[in-house]
Amino acid sequence: MTLSENVTSQTAWTPEGDDLIVEADNLDFIRTLPDESFRVIYIDPPFNTGRTQRLQSLKTSRSATGSRVGFKGQTYDTVKGTLHSYDDAFTDYWAFLEPRLLEAWRLLTPDGTLYLHLDYREVHYAKVVLDAMFGRESFLNEIIWAYDYGARSKTKWPTKHDNVLVYVKDPENYVWNGQDVDREPYMAPGLVTPEKVALGKLPTDVWWHTIVPPASKERTGYATQKPVGIIRRMIQASSSEGDWILDFFAGSGTTGAAARQLGRRFVLVDSNPEAIAVMQRRLDDGALDSQVTIVHNPESAPRPS
């Protein structure tokens, strides 16, 4: 894989172009990307774990005729108002995340899929808003990623999972290659035939998968790194070889690594220079013929023609 850096502002990103890593404010950059360009969008935004943090409110305009209608005819604006009455901290967090999810909907191909990775603190709110934003019928799954690490609480059941909400743009037409994903061992192999044990079982919506072990070759040292195995499964199920994948909270670049393993293309965006450096080291493989363009300056980021 060949790396080039700091392309000029006249260079336009197109689906025929290079894989791309961009250091930029993600909202500013993804607003420049062409409509319906990505079959899968996976994002793992910062979790609102503090419950006291306040993020800058970013206003978005939606016409009255364009507002989506959710469950029982409840409008998107009404849903947001209702949530605000329950939890001001969530409303501030959602003011940060909402415009980015609106862009994700625009950028998905008509048969595309969004994977939104959150934790238990936000997922219940997020599902209500996404039901209204995408349409409740577009909700496909809530994946539970279960793992075993971290503190052992003595005052409650220890929290050992993340949540991934899966929404499709069109519930009548979306890519699904679930039969192709990596299989899992049976939990009770004595109850099935030896042939089934050898083949393994298709995953359900509960995924038991370890974190990235400290001594693993996969480990990059990036604090919030996710294992390739879980991202690979999402990409494999919801896209085909050659499709474009977008991650605009890219962190350590796991989405790019998984996409590359599967023969997909990728655009990765992050505002953290440390993340860009990690991705550059991780995806710099001279044995590959494909090209990755690294952009360190939002002003020089590729723009659609």
Residue 129 zone, left/alpha/beta (φ > 0; ψ -120 to 50; rest): alpha
Count of domains in the chain?
A: 1
Count helices and strands in the chain by DSSP H and E runs: 8, 10
Q: CB–CB of 92/52 below 8 Å?
A: no
pLDDT, residue 224, reads: 75
Confirm whether 81 is domain-assigned. Answer: yes
The mean pLDDT values, 10 residues at a time, for the chain of 305 residues are 42 74 92 95 79 39 46 61 67 82 95 94 87 92 88 85 95 95 91 94 91 71 82 97 96 94 95 91 64 68 45
For 195, the enclosing helix (H) or strand (E) is helix 194-199
pLDDT, residue 56, reads: 38
Measured between alpha carbons, how far is 94 from 172 in angstroms, rounded to an integer?
28
Measured between alpha carbons, how far is 121 from 90 in angstroms, rounded to an integer?
9
pLDDT, residue 296, reads: 74
CATH code where residue 235 lies: 3.40.50.150
Confirm whether 118 is domain-assigned. Answer: yes
Domain of residue 280 covers: 2-300
Measured between alpha carbons, how far is 221 from 278 in angstroms, rounded to an integer?
8
Other residues' Cβ atoms within 10 Å of the Cβ of residue 165:
20
Confirm whether 7 is domain-assigned. Answer: yes
pLDDT, residue 18, reads: 83
Confirm whether 67 is domain-assigned. Answer: yes
Confirm whether 113 is domain-assigned. Answer: yes
Confirm whether 264 is domain-assigned. Answer: yes
Strands 108-118 and 139-146: what pairing? unpaired
Confirm whether 305 is domain-assigned. Answer: no
Q: CB–CB of 169/134 below 8 Å?
A: yes
Confirm whether 218 is domain-assigned. Answer: yes
Q: Is 27 exposed, middle or buried (0-12, 13-18, 19+ CB in 10 A)?
A: middle
pLDDT, residue 298, reads: 54
Report the alpha-carbon angle 140-144-145, nearest 5: 130
Whether this prediction's pTM lies above 0.75 is answered by yes
